[in-house]
Structure 1
């Protein structure tokens, strides 16, 4: 999606993808990653997700990457915390201790930026991208992160050809995108209830969410 698309969505508060609480799969499955509580976590396309606070409360330094300045400001304001803002190129950084959100284009990250990262949390990055952009995203994520980095990936799959996010990503596509560089473990699948807010809004039946643990090899 073009930058203007996301800036418009945030300006118009069209953020149905934002969860107002910690993601259920995060607190259920995060302990399954082979990690230390001091490992730095990268959260691509993080928005203003409460998940960042949850991870930070468990001792993890955080680097979130988010295109929208509105989202970055809202994250700290709604969390009741202040951030020191450091303007720069290609990223303006919002920092509160070792919780950082880098405001800018994810594709501008370089390996030096995330050299201390050992873990990645992706709930809404891959599924936010259209099919033609997803290989580029995975390629760039793989290029910048250190060896042995682990990813907790959450996907959504449903029938149809959506024109806006969240997009459907099948389990087969996950293997196509990641198999060359990662050990893939499919650790959970759950069918969305018909009264789930997203399923109701889209009129979906049989939509599923899957959770993967990926290890870069």
Structure 2
């Protein structure tokens, strides 16, 4: 999947994947991550998610990486308006960086961001990863590369991972279907993998039901 696909989605405001509320799974299960406030949490392919707001308000440093500068412009503006966090924006090479109190946002290619860069910016490694819509945003051909790069980027930090699974012969992504077996293939050699919750969402997703799906499952994993 080319970057132009996502740039086009944001420029046309075709962002049905964006939630206008904090994810209920984050609210319910984040305390089980047992991460002390003050630590930095990485949100890969973050868009302008309100989950980042919630984590910052909860006292965590937040690091968002997102391809679209449009998305991060809107996110930075909201952080300033709603949390009174002054954000400084600068263009550095192929990236656009947004820096504020407890906030680091990077607009650019996820695969071009490395651990050393984050360490310079943060003074150390991130302590956790929250992946709500990153793995499922990528086609199968990119997911192995993504999982390996994320592991290196975060120096093996614990992850809260949310996936979606459905019959992809009936509907193509994104969001793409990621099976439990695929999650194990990507992560079980790197982490202790725990399936925390599996929930059927098809009755809550009429747009996917209208496309012929009989099942649309959400799974939550902890990777430690």
CA contact (8 A) 1:158 1:207 kept: yes
Q: Deviation per CA, 1:50-106: give whole Å up to 9, x if none.
A: 000000011100110000010001113345255210210242111231112111111
- 2:110 equivalent to 1:106: yes
Q: 1:197 to 1:55 in 2, by over 3 A?
A: farther
Find the aligned partners of 2:207 and 2:72 in 1 and give their Cα distance: 24
Structure 1 residue matching 2:192: 3-state secondary structure: strand
Q: How many residues align?
A: 214
Offset of 1:179 from its aligned partner?
A: 1.1
Paired with 1:210 and 1:137, the residues of 2 have a C-alpha distance of 19
Aligned residues of 2:128 and 2:158 also touching (Cα < 8 A) = yes
Which of 101, 108, 113 is the aligned partner of 1:97?
101
2:187 and 2:105 mapped to 1: Cα distance?
A: 26
Structure 2 unmatched runs, 5+: 120-124
Aligned-residue offset at 1:163: 3.6
- The aligned residue for residue 51 of structure 1 is 51
Residues 1:172 and 2:181 are matched in the alignment: yes
Q: Secondary structure at the match of 2:28?
A: helix
Cα offset for 1:196? 2.5
Give the Cα separation in 2 of the matches to 1:178 and 1:198.
31
Structure 1: which 5+ residue stretches go unaligned?
none
Matches within 5 A, 1:80-159: 80=81, 82-115=86-119, 116-147=125-156, 149-159=157-167
How much does 1:201 deviate? 5.2
- How many Å separate the matches in 2 of 1:123 and 1:102? 18
Contact 1:194–1:205 at 8 Å: present in 2 too? no
Distance 1:78 1:204 in 2: 35
Partners of 1:48 and 1:18 lie apart in 2 by 7
**CA gap 1:203/1:74 in 2 versus in 1, 3 angstroms:** farther
Structure 2: distance between partners of 1:158 and 1:122: 19
**Taking structure 2 as the reference length, what is the TM-score of the superposition?**
0.90
CA RMSD across the alignment: 1.6
Structure-2 residue corresponding to 1:40: 40
For 2:207 and 2:194, the matched residues in 1 are separated by 26
For 2:176 and 2:207, locate their aligned partners in 1 and report how far apart those are by CA, in whole Å.
12
TM-score between both structures, scaled by the size of structure 1: 0.93
Change (3 A) 1:133 1:204: same
Instruction: Please give the alpha-carbon distance, in whole angstroms, between the structure 2 residues aligned to 1:33 and 1:114.
Output: 22
